[in-house]
Amino acid sequence: MRSIIKAAEWTLGAETAEGAPQGIYSAVRMACGAEAKPTDNEPMPVEVWALKHIGLNPTHRQFKAMVETYWRVTPVEGNPYRESDALDV
């Protein structure tokens, strides 16, 4: 399969729109499948959950930690899509 990508200048950065979280933190216990409740912008509740879980289950030592982030791609000056930048879908 062949792809053609037309050149245009864009910037890629963190989503900064109102209400967009900087990160959503969560964790899953690898063997038993227990999951921490995801939290916006604050990893501490997930970290505390993991420590409490290990306190109740001393052999449950491996977790998968996850952080979900959001990006926005913005056309730079001179990009023909810049004028339609406010029309995000």
pLDDT in tens, 20-78: 999 999 999 999 999 999 999 999 999 999 999 999 999 999 999 999 999 998 888 88
Task: Give the model's confidence band at 89: pLDDT under 50 very low, under 70 low, under 90 confident, else very high.
Answer: low
How many Cβ atoms sit within 10 Å of the Cβ of residue 27?
Answer: 21
Domain of residue 25, residue span: 21-68
> What b/e string do you get for 41-61 counting C-beta neighbours within 10 Å, with b at 16 or more?
eeeeebbebbeebeeeeeebe
What pLDDT is stored for residue 9 in this prediction? 86
pLDDT at 83 exceeding the cut of 80: no
Same domain assignment for residues 1 and 12: yes
Same domain assignment for residues 57 and 75: no
Residue 59 has which token pair? 């052999």
Burial class (CB in 10 A: 0-12, 13-18, 19+), 19: exposed
Same domain assignment for residues 75 and 59: no
| Residue 66, H or E segment | strand 63-68
What pLDDT is stored for residue 10 in this prediction? 87
Same domain assignment for residues 42 and 61: yes
pLDDT at 6 exceeding the cut of 70: no
Same domain assignment for residues 42 and 77: no
Q: How far apart are CA 75 and CA 89, in angstroms?
A: 14
Same domain assignment for residues 34 and 58: yes
- What domain count does the chain have? 2
Same domain assignment for residues 55 and 43: yes
Task: Give the model's confidence band at 79: pLDDT under 50 very low, under 70 low, under 90 confident, else very high.
Answer: confident
